[in-house]
Amino acid sequence: MAQAQLIIDLDALCANWRALDALSRSETGAVVKADGYGLGAARVAPALAKQGARRFFVALAEEGAAVRQALGQGPEICVFSGHMEGDAALIRDARLTPMINSIDQMLRHVEALPGHAFGIQLDSGMNRLGMEPAEWSALRDIALAQKPRLVMSHLACADEPDHAMNAQQLHCFREMTDGIEAPRSLSATGGILLGEAYHFDVTRPGIGLYGGLPFERAQSVARLSIPVIQMRDLAPGETVGYGNTFAAAAPMRVATIAAGYADGILRAQGPKGYLLADDRPCKILGRVSMDLIGVDVTHLGEAPQSLDLLGPHQGVDQVADYAGTIGYEVLTSLGARYARRYIGG
């Protein structure tokens, strides 16, 4: 079988949730947008609910409906994009909580679904989603009278603890929300690590659950194991792959493995990346093809059956470094062609 295996360790996921939960006295939610950061929200969300997570966050109402199917009634599912035109039936039927981003969204929501749960998203400086201070002052009393389930904002620089933006956004969020009754939320993974002042009532970790930075203590959740299709010996001067970008300087052994950029393995890592034979790094040779990658296995004693791109010895952030990106992109790029296997949970 040439199909690569993506093994998702739900026990490690749950251990990461518990470890983040232990860092604050707040309720710890779970962000499962983008299909649980590429690892499968239908499996990730129920495992976290069993662990005790009661509030889940997604980007779109459609994602929320899928998560509701997986979770059943009970946990709250908050939608960051709020209440968009055409969302009313989904929000009602799946009992979603839209995080309202503007006065327009608020009007749409109360008109279409009077009495239905909602939350509020405020912009404390990131200029991405949520109401700015002036818009919030205009809506504040009316919105608070209808008892929002959560009032939240999002930090732009929480992965840089010394960045002045953190304190600035904290100050702005407090100015907009101090004294209100509704539960408040400011922090994702990075904010949890900034300390108690940033925790408020509910936290919203995503990447840390899935084994990524800035949660350095995270356990590895995803293992990606790619079968070797063929081995060959190169003589000095022979090249590997498209464009002849790699030429052997000495005799060497090359393994051709069965995955490529069509599987979300970022092509940009070609010149810098490694795969692993257990804990031994094996360099990528030449360009990553659509379905294949050439890998240097000269130093291994025997021909490997498979090589791992992700696992306990090489996490998503290491692979991200090779490609000049972030662990989030490595995870959410994981393709649809893998045999996915879940362990634990």
Ligand X SMILES: *Cc1c(COP(=O)(O)O)cnc(C)c1O
Of the candidate residues 154, 184, 199, 287, the single one contacting ligand X (CB under 6 A):
154
| Nearer of residues 154 and 287 to ligand X, judged by Cβ | 154
Of the candidate residues 10, 14, 31, 61, the single one contacting ligand X (CB under 6 A):
31
HEC string of 209-241? HHCCCCCCCCCCCEEEEEEEEEEEEECCCCEEC
Contact between 120 and ligand X (CB under 6 A)?
Answer: no
Nearest-CB residue for ligand X: 206
- Shortest distance (Å) from residue 122 CB to ligand X: 11
Our answer to whether residue 33 is catalytic in this structure is: yes
Contact between 82 and ligand X (CB under 6 A)?
Answer: no
Contact between 36 and ligand X (CB under 6 A)?
Answer: no
- Shortest distance (Å) from residue 307 CB to ligand X: 28
Contact between 80 and ligand X (CB under 6 A)?
Answer: yes
Amino acid at 282: C
For the chain, the helix, strand and coil percentages under 3-state DSSP, each to the nearest 5: 35, 25, 40
- Shortest distance (Å) from residue 206 CB to ligand X: 3
| Nearer of residues 199 and 204 to ligand X, judged by Cβ | 204
Contact between 330 and ligand X (CB under 6 A)?
Answer: no
Q: How many CA atoms lie within 13 A of 9 on its CB side?
A: 18
- Shortest distance (Å) from residue 74 CB to ligand X: 21
Of the candidate residues 206, 270, 273, 327, the single one contacting ligand X (CB under 6 A):
206
Contact between 188 and ligand X (CB under 6 A)?
Answer: yes
Contact between 189 and ligand X (CB under 6 A)?
Answer: yes
- Shortest distance (Å) from residue 18 CB to ligand X: 16
How far, rounded to the nearest angstrom, does the alpha carbon of residue 314 sit from its chain's CA centroid? 17
How far, rounded to the nearest angstrom, does the alpha carbon of residue 321 sit from its chain's CA centroid? 16
Contact between 204 and ligand X (CB under 6 A)?
Answer: yes
Contact between 83 and ligand X (CB under 6 A)?
Answer: no
The kind and range of the H/E element at 244 are none
Q: Which residue pairs, CB below 8 angstroms and at least 24 apart, start in 311-317?
A: 311/220, 311/223, 311/224, 311/225, 311/276, 312/220, 312/223, 313/276, 313/278, 313/279, 314/274, 314/275, 314/276, 314/281, 315/211, 315/212, 315/218, 315/220, 316/210, 316/211, 316/212, 316/222, 317/212, 317/213
Active site residues: 33, 242
List interacting residues with ligand X (CB under 6 A). 31, 33, 80, 154, 188-190, 204-208
